[in-house]
Chain A
Amino acid sequence: MLIRKPPAIKSSEITPESVYLNRRELLRAAGITTAGMISGTAHGDESDMNFKPLGKLTPSPYSTDAEPTGFADIASYNNFYEFGLDKSDPAARSGDFKPKPWSVTVDGAAEVTGTFTYEDIVGPHPLEERVYRLRCVEAWSMVVPWAGFPLGDLLKRFKPTSNAKYVAFETVYRPDEMPGQRRRLLRWPYREGLRIDEAMHPLTILATGLYGVELPNQNGAPLRLVVPWKYGFKSIKSIVRISFIEDEPFTTWNDAAPSEYGFFANVNPEVDHPRWSQARERPIGGGFFASKVPTLMFNGYADEVASLYADMDLSRYY
């Protein structure tokens, strides 16, 4: 395994101020509250559920201009095997899941470790709206208006040491509330990880909501990772543990099928899945008229992240 020394991160890249730089953008969007954008739903009965509005979100220059996928689709078409294998299972079978109260254990190579409440974790961070493309390894895609904050801002609060080469994440294990975990579909708990430079990248966020409301259970409540240039399975949901570690962490899909799912899992139209093409993707929401469209390198975030992988053979480190 090639372990690259993480490049020094420019402070301008990780300071939250960077999102305020474009004042004109901010002012233009200031009047817009996304909480009011939730549409009625054609799929399932999630429209009957009450999602708590998050209040005002700061717009972000990292948001895409692409039209967001409808709330009903985002909240009814999910891969979250903790609730079952079918895309409709998470919405249908996550009713017993209790995302509050919540706590997150932080351990490993950092000066500040321990168990923190959800409020400890999220409280200090102003929430931004990040409209990101989401590309699933199964060759479909959505555009999701997440609410969240840069993961790097949180990680810095724990003062990671120089041994923190990677950050590992773990999903909660609650078979009583998560029916999919009662079967050994994957080796529970679900685990994911990033290289520290990927984790500190300003595009990488922890999301607490979407469409201006708190995350629905099926979307990874109450706290999930979003890494928009990687296949969706990297964006681990319902996080209860964050570990700073020295070696490449165990990651669930890589464990399940190492030849098909790598540690990096960067969206790459030129490196196909062994069994299907990654060159194109289906945008969800177009009904029977949503033929596949070309997939973009790093899911369209190449300008921001390609430099992280400058000397890597991406067909080898897929």
Chain B
Amino acid sequence: MSFPNRRQLRRIVKPVWFMACLAPFAWLILRALGLAGDDLGADPIEATQDFTGIWALRLLLVTLAITPVRRLTGFIWLTQLRRMTGLFALFYASAHVLNYLVPDQGLNWAAIIEDILERPFITLGALALTGLIALGITSTRGWQVRLGKRWLTLHRLVYVIAILVVWHFWWQVKEVITEPLIYAVILTALLGSRLIKKKRVRFKPDA
């Protein structure tokens, strides 16, 4: 068997991927503590909010990219990294929300509830996070077995969540939408690749 075999996957690829996914967070912490070249600037809460949000989105898109890249390259083992990547997306999304709740809002629940109910972009974010948490909890082998066929249906929610997250990003930028547009294009491509693939493999039993 070519690289990586099962052992290499477990002992090399997965730990390296784990560290890679954690690296942005480590970078954030170093800057927050003033231990890296630059710090988080005059508004570290805002900087943390943007940074954790963008990495949650990026890792979500990487998660969605794993299947099409596997199909293009034939690297079946990539699938073994999908759950970890998705869980890291949840990790950054959780940091994003905790930063919003505690430093940003100071746990002012009246204001937080008003935000969720009245700011459409925050409503979208809250929905997306709820979905991500549900997928995170049910990502274990045990839940996979327990839910059977319904597990796959549930985890297709990731497509909806990704759309919500890009939309959430789009709605909160002030005017220049270049950056969310780039992510929207990437997401469209990732979702589109699934439609194309579906047609081509329609008659295979195990697409």
**What's the least CB distance linking B102 to chain A, in Å?**
8
B120 & A275 in contact (Cβ 8 Å cutoff): yes
CA distance A138 to B49 in the complex (A): 14
B104 & A291 in contact (Cβ 8 Å cutoff): yes
Residue among B41, B43, B106, B171 making CB contact with A291, cutoff 8 Å = B106
CA distance A199 to B103 in the complex (A): 38
Count chain B CB atoms within 10 A of each CB in A73, A138, A257, A275 and give the residue with the most: A275
A275 & B121 in contact (Cβ 8 Å cutoff): yes
Residue among B32, B34, B42, B176 making CB contact with A77, cutoff 8 Å = B42
Q: Counting CB contacts under 8 A, is A217 at the interface? A: no
Residues on the A chain within 8 Å of B106, using CB? 291-292
Q: Counting CB contacts under 8 A, is A42 at the interface? A: yes
Residue of A with least CB distance to B32: A288
**What's the least CB distance linking A112 to chain B, in Å?**
37
Write out, one digit per residue, whether chain B residues 13-51 have a CB within 8 A of any chain A CB (1) or not (0).
000000000000000000010100001011111101000
SS class, residues of chain A in contact with chain B: loop
B118 & A140 in contact (Cβ 8 Å cutoff): no
CA distance A9 to B102 in the complex (A): 47
Q: Counting CB contacts under 8 A, is A156 at the interface? A: no
CA distance A290 to B45 in the complex (A): 8
**What's the least CB distance linking B177 to chain A, in Å?**
11
Q: Counting CB contacts under 8 A, is A125 at the interface? A: no
Q: Counting CB contacts under 8 A, is B79 at the interface? A: no
Q: Counting CB contacts under 8 A, is A87 at the interface? A: yes
Q: Counting CB contacts under 8 A, is A280 at the interface? A: yes
Residues on the A chain within 8 Å of B48, using CB? 288
B171 & A275 in contact (Cβ 8 Å cutoff): yes
Interface size on A, residues (CB 8 A): 31
Q: Counting CB contacts under 8 A, is B175 at the interface? A: yes
CA distance A52 to B152 in the complex (A): 66
SS class, residues of chain B in contact with chain A: helix
CA distance A66 to B45 in the complex (A): 22
Q: Counting CB contacts under 8 A, is B174 at the interface? A: yes
B103 & A275 in contact (Cβ 8 Å cutoff): no
Q: Counting CB contacts under 8 A, is A208 at the interface? A: no
**What's the least CB distance linking B25 to chain A, in Å?**
16
Extra inter-chain contacts (17) besides given A290-B45, A291-B108, A292-B104, CB under 8 Å = A76-B41, A77-B43, A87-B42, A88-B41, A140-B43, A272-B118, A275-B121, A276-B119, A277-B115, A282-B43, A282-B45, A285-B42, A288-B48, A290-B43, A292-B105, A292-B108, A292-B111
Given known pairs A275-B119, A291-B103, A291-B104, the reply for A77 and B41 (CB within 8 Å) is yes
A277 & B111 in contact (Cβ 8 Å cutoff): yes
Write out, one digit per residue, whether chain A residues 177-193 have a CB within 8 A of any chain B CB (1) or not (0).
00000000110000000
What are the 8 tightest A-B residue pairs by CB atom distance, in nearest-first order? A291-B106, A77-B42, A73-B42, A288-B103, A284-B42, A256-B175, A185-B176, A43-B41
Residue of B with least CB distance to A291: B106
CA distance A272 to B119 in the complex (A): 10
**What's the least CB distance linking B207 to chain A, in Å?**
40
Residues on the A chain within 8 Å of B172, using CB? 275-276
CA distance A42 to B119 in the complex (A): 34
CA distance A272 to B121 in the complex (A): 14
Residues on the B chain within 8 Å of A76, using CB? 41-42
Q: Counting CB contacts under 8 A, is A35 at the interface? A: no
30 residue pairs from A and B, CB less than 8 Å apart? A42-B34, A43-B41, A43-B42, A76-B41, A77-B43, A85-B176, A87-B42, A138-B174, A140-B43, A185-B175, A253-B175, A272-B118, A275-B119, A275-B121, A275-B172, A276-B119, A276-B121, A277-B118, A280-B111, A282-B45, A282-B46, A284-B42, A288-B44, A288-B103, A289-B103, A291-B103, A291-B108, A292-B104, A292-B106, A292-B108
Q: Counting CB contacts under 8 A, is A287 at the interface? A: yes
Residues on the B chain within 8 Å of A257, using CB? 175
Residues on the A chain within 8 Å of B44, using CB? 287-288
CA distance A256 to B171 in the complex (A): 15
CA distance A277 to B115 in the complex (A): 7
Per the 8 Å Cβ criterion, residues 276-318 of A in contact with B are: 276-277, 279-280, 282, 284-285, 287-292
Given known pairs A275-B172, A277-B118, the reply for A284 and B105 (CB within 8 Å) is no
Write out, one digit per residue, whether chain B residues 151-179 have a CB within 8 A of any chain A CB (1) or not (0).
00000000000000000000110111000
A277 & B45 in contact (Cβ 8 Å cutoff): no
Count chain B CB atoms within 10 A of each CB in A43, A85, A253, A291 and give the residue with the most: A291
Write out, one digit per residue, whether chain B residues 56-92 have a CB within 8 A of any chain A CB (1) or not (0).
0000000000000000000000000000000000000
Residues on the A chain within 8 Å of B120, using CB? 275
Write out, one digit per residue, whether chain B residues 107-135 have a CB within 8 A of any chain A CB (1) or not (0).
01001001100111100000000000000
CA distance A185 to B177 in the complex (A): 10
